[in-house]
Amino acid sequence: MSVFKGNLQSSDVRAQGRHFGSFREYVDALRAIGEVQEIDREVDWNLEMGAVIMRTTQNKLPAPLFNNVKDAEPGLRAMGAPAATSRQPGLYMARLALMMGMDPHSNGVQLVEAYLAAKARPSHPPRVVEKHEAPCKEHIRLGSDIDLTRLPVPFIHDGDGGRYIQTAGINIVRSPDGKWTNWSINRSMILDKSRLTGLVIPEQHIGMIHGMWKQQGKPTPWALALGVPPAAMIAGGAPMAAYINEQDYVSQLTGRPVELVKCETVDLEVPASSEIVIEGYISDHELAMEGPFGEYGGYLYGPEPKPWPVYNVTAITYRDRAILPVIASGVPVEDIHTIWGLGICGEALDACRHAKLPVTACWQPLESATHWMVVTVPASWHDDTALGVDEFLHRIGKTIFESHAGWQFPKILVMGDDIDPTRLDQVVWAFATRCHPGSGEVLFSQTKVGEWVAYLNSSEKLTGRGGQALYNCLTHEQAIGSPLPEVISFEKAYPKALQERIVTNWQSYGFSDPVIAAK
C-alpha cells in the first residue's frame, strides 16, 4: 500500500476550474460533463420527485432537472442532487469540486485544502447592484399574490411532516446592531401559502440572531435565497465561527466581490443571481409544528413533530424559468454529506493547525453520514510534539470537539497518514486492525452534541449533551514513534521491477481492464 500524501500545504492548492456567478451557470457546467438528466414529462411533487431524486442519488446518476412539476407555476423548475456523487470514472466528487471552482477530478482532501486556503486570502466588500441588474427580480409577488404552493416544492419522503422548500438554499439574517450577517442552511417546511416553519436551534447562528431580536420584542428580518451561486452554498453549509459573515468567505473563495441586491420588504441583501428569493420575518412568539423529516443520518427525524418559530412571508421574487435546488436527504451518500462534510472538515483542520497540532488531513468518509471524522497524522508526530500518545490524542479530541465544527459529529478516528482518509476500504482496514478494544477508545462525556446526531436518545436531544469519542487507530509502532510495520500489499510486498513488469504485461495474462493495466 502506497503512503497517502495527505500533507498538502495550502500553497500547493489552486483552483483549476472556474467559479460560477450563478446556480444556472453551475447547472450548465454539470450538463456539459454529463451530470444532468433533463426530465420533460410531468412529475408529481407528492413523493414522485423525492423518489426520483433519492434513486439517482443512491445510484450516483446525473442530477434530475424537472422541467414540468405538477401544480407548479408553468416554467418553474426544480433540480435534485446538486452536490451528490457521480458514478462516472474519475468524477466521483465532480459536483462538489465544481462548486469549489476546482478540477472536477479533485478528491476530498484536495477540496478541504482548497477550502482552508481560501480562508487565508483577503476578502472583498460586496457589490450591491440595482434592482434592474438582478435576475432574481424578474418576477415579484407581494401581498395576495404570494403563494408558496405554486413553487415546485416536493413532498420528499413518505412520513415527512410537509413539503420542504428549504433543503439547499441559504437563510439570511442579520443581528439588530447590523454587525453580523449570517448565511446558513437550515431546513424549513411550508405551512400554507404565506407561512413556513423550520429549525431555529438556539445554539446555531440563526438561533443566536433570532434570540437577539426576541430580546427586543421584535420578529427577525429574514430572507431565504434558493438557487444561489455554488460558492454561497459552500459557505452557508460550513460551520464557521460566530460573528463571521459568510459572504466574506464567498469572496475569498472566488477572488471577487459577491453581487447582492436589496430585498423588497426587509432590510437585507441577497445574491443577485438567486433563482428564487423568499422574504419575511421569523416570528418572535408564534410557533407551529414542524416535522418529522427524513434526515441526513438516514432516519426519519422525530418521529414526532416539534414546535418551531413561524416564518411569515412578505415577498417572493424569482427568475424566469427559475430552478429550485432540492436535496433528498437520507442514507449515504447524498448532498448534505458532501457540502456540510466539506465545511466541517475544513473548519476542524483549521482548528488543529491553529493549535499547532501536526495533522495532515481531516476527512469525513461520506459513507459515515458525517458521523465519523478521520484525522491523519505524520510518522513524525512524536518528535514534532514531544508528547505521549495519550496526551496527543486528548489534545486532538479537545481541539476539534470544542470547536464550532466539533459538536456537529460524534466520532474521531486518528490514524497515520499512510492511510488515505478518502478511501473507505483503507479506513475500515485501519480501524479494524489498529484500534485496540478498550484502550483504543478515548471518551469525552457529556459534551455538546447536535440534536440531529442519529443515535442520541430523547433526553440527550433535549439537553444537547451526549457522548463523543476518539479512536486511536495508530499502530503500536506509530503510537510510540517507531517505523510502521511492513504492510502486505501489491505495492509493498514485491520488488518494484517485478511490479512494473506485471503491470506492463497485465493484459497478456488475459485480463482486459485497461484502467488496472495502466496503473
Counting every residue written for the chain, the total comes to 519
Whole-angstrom distance, CA of residue 126 vs CA of residue 244: 14
CA distances 200 to 134, 191, 204, 251, 357, Å, are 29, 16, 7, 27, 34
Q: Are 22 and 229 in contact (CB under 8 A)?
A: yes
Residue keyed to cell 431555529: 200
Question: How far is the C-alpha of 173 from the C-alpha of 484, rounded, in Å?
Answer: 51
Cβ proximity of 301 and 293 under 8 Å:
yes
Side-chain half-sphere exposure of 76, counting CA atoms within 13 A = 25
Catalytic residue among 113, 275, 290, 295: 295
8 A C-beta contact, residue 244 and residue 118: no
How many angstroms separate the CA atoms of 254 and 231, rounded? 7
Q: Is 510 exposed, middle or buried (0-12, 13-18, 19+ CB in 10 A)?
A: exposed
In angstroms, what CA-CA distances link 259 with 69, 194, 269, 375, 487? Answer: 30, 27, 9, 36, 52
Contacts of 76 (CB under 8 A, 6+ apart): 69, 150, 151, 152, 318, 321, 322, 324
Instruction: Give exposure, 285-309, as e/b (b: 16+ Cβ within 10 Å).
Output: eeebebbbbbbbbeebbbeebbebb
The grid cell for 482 is: 517507531
Amino acid present at 349: L
Q: Who's near 490: CB < 8 A, 6+ residues apart?
A: 499
- Report the alpha-carbon distance of residue 334 to residue 374 in Å, rounded: 19
Residue 259 is a catalytic residue: no
H/E stretch holding 209 reads helix 205-215
H, E, C per residue of 53-113 = HHHHHHCCCCEEEECCECCCCCCCEEEECCCCCCCCCCCCCHHHHHHCCCCCCCCHHHHHH
Task: State how far the alpha carbon of 134 is from the alpha carbons of 131, 152, 241, 270, in Å.
Answer: 5, 22, 30, 10
The CA radius of gyration of the chain, in Å to the nearest whole number, is: 24
Distance CA 369, CA 519 (A): 31
What is the phi/psi pair of residue 262, to 5°? -70, 145
Catalytic residue IDs: 295
